[in-house]
Amino acid sequence: MFKKIFPVLATACLLNACITSPTGRSQFMFLSDSQVDQMGLQAFDNLKKQKPISTNSKYNQIASCIAGAITQQTGGNWEVVVFEDASPNAFALPGNKIGVHTGMITLVENQDQLAAVIGHEIGHVLAKHSNERASQEMAVSSGMSLIQAVSAPQTTLGQTALGLLGVGAQYGILMPYSRIHESEADMIGVDLMAKSGFDPKQSIALWQKMEQASQGRQPIEFMSTHPSHATRIQDLVRHMPHATELFQQAQAAGKQPHCN
Question: Looking at residue 211, what is its pLDDT?
Answer: 77
Are the CB atoms for 41 and 165 separated by under 8 Å? no
Question: Looking at residue 183, what is its pLDDT?
Answer: 86
Alpha-carbon span 197 to 249, nearest angstrom: 9
Question: Looking at residue 129, what is its pLDDT?
Answer: 84
Question: Looking at residue 63, what is its pLDDT?
Answer: 98
244's CB contacts (< 8 A; 6+ apart) are: 194, 200, 201
Nearest residue to 113 via CA among 77, 85, 88: 88
Q: What is the pTM of this model?
A: 0.78
Residues classed as catalytic: 121
Q: What is the mean pLDDT of each run of 10 residues along the chain (260 residues)?
A: 42 53 73 86 93 97 98 96 94 96 96 97 92 68 54 58 54 55 91 98 90 62 55 90 98 95
Question: Looking at residue 6, what is its pLDDT?
Answer: 41
Could you tell me the end-to-end alpha-carbon distance of the chain, in angstroms, rounded to an integer? 46
Chain centroid offset of residue 151 CA: 21
Q: Where are the domains of the chain?
A: 26-252
Side-chain half-sphere exposure of 245, counting CA atoms within 13 A: 3
Are the CB atoms for 17 and 128 separated by under 8 Å? no
